[in-house]
Amino acid sequence: MTWRRTLEYATAIVAIAVALALIVFAISVTNIDRHHNQQSKKNVTENMIQCSNCSETQLLIATTIAMKSSVPVTIAAIGTTIAPLTSSATTTTTTTEATDEIQAEPVSIPSNYITTMTNKREIDSVNNDSDDVDNVFIIANTTTAASTTSTTTTASTSASSNPVAVEETTAWKTLTSHPNSLVQLLPSRAMRVVQEVVRSFRKDANVIVRTIAGRIRGRYQKYRSGERGGYYSFKGIRYGAAPIGDRRFRAAEPERSWLGIRDASREGHSCPHKNMILDTFKGNEDCLFLNVFTSKVPKGDYNPQMPVMVWLHGGGYSFGSGNTFLYGPDYLVAENVVLVTLNYRLGPLGFLTAGPNAPGNQGLKDQLLALKWVRDNIAAFGGDPNQVTVFGESAGASSVQLLMLSPLSKGLFHRAISESGSALNPWALGESSALRASRLAANLGYIGTNNTDDILRYLKKLPAMKLIEGAPNTLTEEDYRNNIGLPFVPVVEGYWNDANRTIYTESPLITENPIELYRNQKFQKNIPYLTGYNTHEAMLFIRRLRKNPKLLEIIENDFARMIPKDLNVTGDRNRVTREIRQFYLGTKTVSVDSVNEMIALLTDVMFLRGIRRSVRYHARYGNAPVYMYRFAFDGALGLYKRMLGLQRPGVCHGDEMGYLFKFGFFNLNLDPNSLEILVKNRMVRMWTNFAKYGNPTPAHRVDNLINTIWLPISPDSVMDNLSFMDISATLDVRKNPEFERQQFWDYMYEHYNGDAM
């Protein structure tokens, strides 16, 4: 070894030793103050610092100030900036909603305050405890230079100009420049060590993004799914004004601009609904929020422009939300896409129709408004507004198709995925009639005229949860006989009369029955489309059997209720009933011994038939590739089976979502080599490939994980040679899913309805 190499090693060792010594020195010196060396950092934190949701950096700032000045320090739960105020200074906050910055009246603050407050509880505590006002500091969550006042952003600021700022730098400036900060006492080298400590704390750095309407502050958080690193989370972003008061039952309006910075660390309210699993009511009518999750944010001239995936949750148009309790972003965001989840109005609040002042489809119009928000703002989060994939499950899947059938959504998304749902399913569209609204009002005490305006005025005065609670009681026996179990769903906007068709709104979302739109080729043909189903979708209905054991007996005695409404049987219904019973049950009766056969029948009638028909229309008349899948993996990540406590084999409605989203309500410690992890990785890769390339298995992305080419459906083979990807423990391209069952329904629709598609 040469003397030069020896010298290099020695120098390195000395440098390491010096660095360690500096760290020890830095830690020691920040705990020494000549006036207060009797008080430990622990006691300062416990006795002198009030902290709500503060970060490590803010805690470090507060500790140094408290130790130096011996005064209590409060870290505001919701705030804007640190700013010295002159005597009798007045602090004014902007008017915002409860989930954002809290509205506060102007307040006078003595000269030795360092504060800009927006949390009304903090202001009230100062006003009520005047004896202590000389010994309080307020440190806000979002910090700027200590010697300047808060700056605000005007509504006209473009989302694309300087779209993001990381709080770490300003937090460090505050830490080092504050007159009471002990860090100023450190030598320059030691200060650099502390700066590195601060940066390590700020791995969860707050991130400020500038949208068109104003600035919002998100958080960095680590993946919960085992991947290294993390992502930026922006929760509870308001995309629409609160649809309350006279706005109830009407299309939502865009959110107004705001001043200052809104916090986006917590999810907004879900829309009012009854949770069908927990059998509880929850939500708030002020619910038009979305969440954005991204692994990269723009900095300076850098903008990652990642593909965007917008999720529309399911729940029969009557319950659910876009929150991370069910739809954790970890799996998808790790594949370098931006994920957006959202709430939309549900039940009567989202889909009641009663004349021109409540034309219907409010929930779908919420989705449309959210997509417009994505178009206008997603670039600030690292997303590409020209690569947006809208995807959903169940009612969300049907919503995807309805948006594809509406010219109002043109240009808002560029690819589409429907999981276990279609606009052609019997539950996806209701009657455009004010009768159900009238029935709802009567059930809730209305005794006035049949005038729709009077009915709406009455319904607008009732608490939202009263409407949700009363919705199921609007279903009639005829509804149940037609397998209509959802009282408030999308409708064709308008009504037929003898002379002509009257449209209630200037810009109706749905103008014709979806099947007519498909037949007349009135859909967005240039959007690549991926859709499919789970093998035992109707296992979902076992829950209804548990709640109503007599339901099997009811079906046995009235099997004609199994005839699909859109089959339009006008002749001998008894003959149709016999044919369906014979094909599915043979000689069995409807009982606990034939539950599997009933699951197959209901899967076909309620889901697969409509999905398959829409695939045929898209593949035959569209100009973009169409992909179909069959999800058949019965594994531990099955969502609905776990929620419903089902033990029987099969893949239930909703089970595929556990392989796309990280659930917030249970955590399985699965072997990394398990089949569940393999299927999850494959699903996530194929779905994000589709979002990126319009192809779930592009040739350049075929590898050991995805070792099969998923072929699009040929327009010439839609009737008798329908290809699909069978997703199970392996990936296999097959032909004609559930062939015999679908062949039966092809015959029934052609024979009784004259519709071969």
Active site residues: 394, 537, 653
Question: What is the bridge-based pairing of β-strands 73-75 and 137-139?
Answer: parallel
* E strand spans, 152-240: 164-166, 207-210, 215-222, 230-238
Q: CB neighbours (10 Å) of residue 219?
A: 20
For residues 192 and 25, the answer to whether their CB atoms sit within 8 Å is: no
Position of tokens 């996806």? 428
Q: CB neighbours (10 Å) of residue 385?
A: 17
* E strand spans, 95-214: 107-109, 137-139, 164-166, 207-210
Adjacent-strand bridge partners of 308:
338, 388
> What does the alpha-carbon distance between residue 757 and residue 613 come to, in Å, rounded to a whole number?
6
The whole-angstrom distance between residue 287's C-alpha and the CA centroid of its chain comes to 12
Nearest CA-CA partner of 396 in 451, 353, 341, 335 = 341
> What does the alpha-carbon distance between residue 84 and residue 361 come to, in Å, rounded to a whole number?
51
Nearest CA-CA partner of 56 in 218, 205, 177 = 205
Q: What is the largest CA-CA distance in the chain?
A: 103
Q: How far is CA 380 from CA 171, 207, 215, 289, in A?
A: 22, 11, 10, 17
Residue type, 669: N
The whole-angstrom distance between residue 242's C-alpha and the CA centroid of its chain comes to 18
> What does the alpha-carbon distance between residue 503 and residue 644 come to, in Å, rounded to a whole number?
42
Q: CB neighbours (10 Å) of residue 664?
A: 13
549 class by beta-carbon count within 10 Å (0-12 exposed, 13-18 middle, 19+ buried)? exposed
H helix or E strand, kind and range, residue 123: helix 120-128
The DSSP line for 593-657 is: GGHHHHHHHHHIIIIIHHHHHHHHHHHHH-SS-EEEEEE----TT-HHHHHHT--SSS-BTTGGG
Q: Which two tokens stand for residue 167?
A: 């709080």
Q: Is the dihedral of CA 78, 83, 84, 89 positive or negative?
A: negative
403 class by beta-carbon count within 10 Å (0-12 exposed, 13-18 middle, 19+ buried)? buried
